[in-house]
Structure 1
Amino acid sequence: MTAPAPTSGPAPSAFPAPSGLVGTDGPATASGSGSSAYGSFASGSLASGSLASGFVTAEAVALELRPARLGSRAIALMIDVMVQAVVAMILVALTGILWPLIPSVLVDEALLDTVIRVVTVLVLLLYPAYVETRTNGRSPGKSAMGLRVIREDGGPIRPRHAFTRALIGLAVEWPGLLMLPLTWAGSLATMLFSDKGRRLGDLAAGTLVIHERRPSGFRYVPPMPPELAPWAATTDLSTVDDELAEAVRQFLSRHTDLHEPHRSQLLRSLAAEVGTRVTPPAPPGVAPLPFLTAVLAERRRRSAAQLVNGRLVSERLLPGFGQTRPYLVRRDPGVLPPSPHPRPPAPPSVPPPPPAAPFPAAPGTAPLRPQTPSTDDSPAPG
């Protein structure tokens, strides 16, 4: 009797899938469309990559940034336009105060036209460029909406980037001085069909607008079973993809609301699928529910460590990205903010050694006295 030939396929799992969920090709997987036993749990969830786009810097560092689209940018533009209207009213009021001081021989239509042009350039060109440069890409409207302007490589913008954006906006976008209906339509179409929501000013300046604040919904994080913590720390979870982990997470957050026998079937199916992807296998005698809980908790712990490293890289490339600005934090007067680099504690002081005891004098001789250095320059007696 010959031994059966070995067959290629996934590693055997310690949790066999239920017979009702096993097809001709083995247990159900997360990659199938419609044939997955947990497809309903994985569908409708927002993965981390669906909302963000990957940007690679010049140092070959991938940053996960979410581009701003038309809706949020339109609201930010409305806020900026209101601020610019206030600035224009202030300039007009100052002009009205200074206008009577101008000699009447100089007041004519050309002077009025010059003042209007100067106010227009100050409000619509120099003010946006100055504000975006000083605030590192955060105008009042963008700051209110949690947006920021950065370069294509992920770095902060410079004065030339802000000036180019404001100049293109003044000429063909907002308010637009050249062929208003046509340039407005072209700018709107550019933002709608751009994969990163960039307008004409962004394309000319090499910039883009991103979200600094990201939406974070409720995500169930199961605690690690203490008896499985040593085993989970040594497992290889590289083949447990995001879709399968999302299905396990949603099942663990809803399994108390499911009815039998569907709950047990889905639990065994998920445990069988995860069991084929982790190495080494789970210890013998472990129930499917603690097994899934341990895998998800360990995966969460490793993802948190990677997130911390990614934030350190983002902070080095984009200082202050996604953090509260210092001028928005209230502090008591006279209290200095804590230093980000605290000084190490001073070493303990070592007491000086006690003075050495004098040598005892020989019998019949006078004790030796310590000699003090002489301060005069007279030669010593011979």
Structure 2
Amino acid sequence: MASPPASSPAVALVFTDADETLTGEAVALDVQPVGFFLRAVGALIDFVIGALLLLGGGLLIAFLAGQGSLPESALGIAIVTLLVLVMVAVPTTVETLSRGRSLGRLAVGARIVRTDGGAAGFRQALIRALVGVLEIWFTFGAIAAVIGMFTPRAQRLGDLLAGTASERTRTPRLPAEAPGIPLGLEAWAQVADVSRLPDRLAARLSQFVRGADALTPDARARVAASLADAVRPFVSPPPAVDAESLLRAVSAVRRDREYRALMLENERAAALTERG
């Protein structure tokens, strides 16, 4: 999300990507929409469960009719009631009570929310279920699939009419905290010059630091020695430490200085925006 400087306090423009979730206060939420494939898998699971419910209800109606417990005049009413229950009432109830979830969505790690990020309610669930009779049941999901392929967040027709979308509930695990300056090198880090380190070599260095623990001891020592020989000419003054400690120290110093530079740049940009 980016906001250009406004010349008047009464005018403010907010630009968002098509797949961003924007709240009513014009704040873009960092949420991940569920992709088309996962939505299709979840919908297929729910469809199969619904078909099994229809089959079970149909067999029960046939059994009652065969036993004479269900008059012929009530047979049509029973069938329509079954269809309404399975296609509309059950999905609406489940989605409302579970706050946008279903068995299929639980399986793929998704839930239905409003497009502003809020929890979907009864109205949204009912609209989605009613439209789903056409786009999922009557067409076996063909309409939902076609529309979902051409919408930014794989929204089906029911989502577009109800103002909803599907978001992930299983977020990826955060990466481990980046290692800091090795003990004993704090004073060196204050005066070290690592600015001449080439970007390509810095990328290799960062990759080694992140993945060193996964290497075997022999491979770890060999790669560290090779990288240290390549890094040492670009570091002034080079610390008198082992190869891996050198690499971790240089990586931490470079990362911390780039972070501080980015923060200063953001502060200057914010100051210029306020003056404008």
What is aligned with 2:274? none
Question: Distance between the aligned counterparts of 1:262 and 1:225, measured in 2?
Answer: 17
Which structure's residues are more often helix, by fraction? 2
Tell me if 1:291 matches 2:250.
yes
The 5-angstrom pairing of residues 192-341 of structure 1 reads 192-216=149-173, 221-222=178-179, 224-227=181-184, 248-252=205-209, 253=211, 256=221, 258=223, 264-265=229-230, 289=247, 290-293=249-252, 296=255
Which SS does the other structure have where 2:31 is aligned? strand
Higher relative contact order (CA 8 A, sep 6+): 1
The CA distance in 2 between the partners of 1:130 and 1:120, in whole Å, is: 15
The 2-side partners of 1:154 and 1:71 are apart by: 21
CA-CA distance at 1:299 after TM superposition: 9.5
Q: Which residue of 2 aligns with 1:159?
A: 122
Shift of 1:117: 1.9
**1:4-48 deviations in whole A, cap 9, x for unaligned?**
xxxxxxxxxxxxxxxxxxxxxxxxxxxxxxxxxxxxxxxxxxxxx
CA distance in 1, matches of 2:29, 2:109: 18
> Identity rate of aligned residues, in percent?
30
C-alpha distance in structure 2 between counterparts of 1:259 and 1:126, whole Å: 63
TM-score when scaled to structure 2? 0.62
Distance 1:299 1:135, change over 3 A: farther
Aligned position for 1:68 = 34
CA distance in 1, matches of 2:31, 2:188: 35
Q: In 1, distance between residues paired with 2:104 and 2:95? A: 11
- Aligned CA RMSD, in angstroms, stands at 3.9
Quick one: structure 1 residues 152 and 227, their matched pair in 2 at CA, closer, same or farther if it must change by over 3 Å? Answer: farther
1:215: how far off? 3.4
Residue aligning to 1:342: none
Matched to 2:182, the amino acid is: P
When the two structures are superposed, what TM-score results if normalisation uses the length of structure 1? 0.47
Of the two, which has the highest radius of gyration? 1
Please, which runs of 5 or more residues in structure 1 have no aligned partner? 1-52, 234-242, 273-283, 301-382
How far did 1:161 drift? 0.6
The amino acid across from 2:251 in the alignment is L
Following superposition, the deviation at residue 262 of structure 1 comes to: 5.9
8 A contact 1:191–1:197 mirrored in 2:
yes
**CA distance change for structure 1 residues 294 and 190 in 2, over 3 Å: closer, same or farther?**
same
Q: Would the alpha carbon gap of residues 131 and 227 (structure 1) be closer, same or farther in structure 2, given more than 3 Å must change?
A: same
